[in-house]
Structures are given as C-alpha cells and as structure tokens.
Amino acid sequence: MEPGQSVAAAFQSPELFLLAEDLDHMEVRVAIDEADIGQVRAGQRAQFTVDAYPNEAFPAVLTEVRNAAELTQNVVTYEAVLAVDNPGLKLRPGMTASVRVITAEEADALLVPNAALRFTPPGHEDSRNHADGVFVVSEGGRPRFVPLTIELTDGAHTSVRGDLVAGEPVLVDLAAAKHGKKG
C-alpha cells in the first residue's frame, strides 16, 4: 500500500466454485414449530414435496432433532435433519421443501372430519354431556348424537372408535343437512 491509496473496508471476493458432495444422498433441514416438536423423534419417517415436482412426494427419514431454538418473527422453531435418497438427481441444493413428519400411524382407521366433532345442532347442546362424538341423522330425520372415542388426528380428520358405521354420514352443519349433503 502506498500513502493516500484508498482501501476497501469490506472487500468480498466472488465465489468461483461451489463444491457439492454426492447428490445421490442429500439432507433436508427442516424448521419444526415448538408446538409440534414434542412428537418428533429421530428415526421417524417423513415425506416432502418441492415446488419443481408438486405432485411427487419424496420419502425421507428423520436423522436428527437439534435442541437449539431459533426465533424468527416471534415464532420458535427447532431444526431437524432429514436424510433422503436422490437417485434420479431431481432434488437440488437450495430447493424449498414442504415436509410432513409421520409421528403416528393407525391401520384401518374410521375417519370423521374434525368439523363433525365440533358441530352441535341448535337445541341439542345437552346431548353431548361433555362427551366426544358426532351427530348423525336418525331414521326420523332428527339429529342423533353418537358418542365416540377420539384417537389420532391429522388436523383435518380424526380417527375414532365407537358405534359409528363406516360410510354413515355425519353432520358438519345445518345447511348441508337441509340439502341432503352430509360430511
């Protein structure tokens, strides 16, 4: 340097090469909400989609759940790592993934929409007696409460046990009941 010569304080050199390891085997880093982290464990199966292939679900395995919390816009998340095989090289570094971790499974489950578990027809508030269940239309056309035991849920549907018959329509609102449409 010569006296009086300008010096750049934050000089950055351009990135000339980016080295990638074997792209046949990749990892996906996932931010898991604090409300869900209690159900997530290493070894669980997962699946994810990427925008480039919206109709294709890629299988993965959860290999690590990290303990360091990250706070972004007042939301606490924890990082988890998924291992995924990429034999067709469809997945590329930097893609955004929408991930579903499988925390529990139930075979041959009877599912009802969550809306049916919340719906109570007017005048039938006492039918529930603080019990879980759904309303069906009885033979006389009036709503009848069927008590159920609640099992697993995916947020939209819940598996149940009880005296509900598979395929039996359940009520989710009065408009559907009046027009013969049941959930």
Q: Let me know whether 94 and 48 are in one domain.
A: yes
Residue 136 sits in a domain whose CATH number is 2.40.420.20
Q: Each residue of 16-51: pLDDT tens digit? A: 676 777 899 999 999 999 999 999 999 999 999 999
Q: Which of 101, 131, 164 is the last residue of a domain?
A: 101
Asked whether the whole model's pTM tops 0.75, one would answer no
Beta-carbon neighbour count of residue 118 at 10 Å? 9
Q: Which of 109, 106, 103, 85 is CA-nearest to residue 38?
A: 103
Asked if the structure places residue 56 within a domain, the reply is yes
Q: Each residue of 103-129: pLDDT tens digit? A: 999 999 999 999 999 999 988 888 777
Length of the chain (residues): 183
Q: Let me know whether 115 and 88 are in one domain.
A: no
Q: Let me know whether 114 and 96 are in one domain.
A: no
Q: Which of 73, 101, 129 is the last residue of a domain?
A: 101
Alpha-helical runs (H) found in the chain? 114-118, 174-178
- Asked if 97 and 28 touch (Cβ cutoff 8 Å), the reply is yes
Q: Which of 45, 68, 101 is the last residue of a domain?
A: 101
Beta-carbon neighbour count of residue 142 at 10 Å? 11
Q: Considering its fold, how many domains does the chain have in total?
A: 2
Residue 145 reports pLDDT greater than 90: yes
Asked if the structure places residue 18 within a domain, the reply is no
Q: Where in the sequence is the domain holding 29, given as residue range(s)? A: 25-101
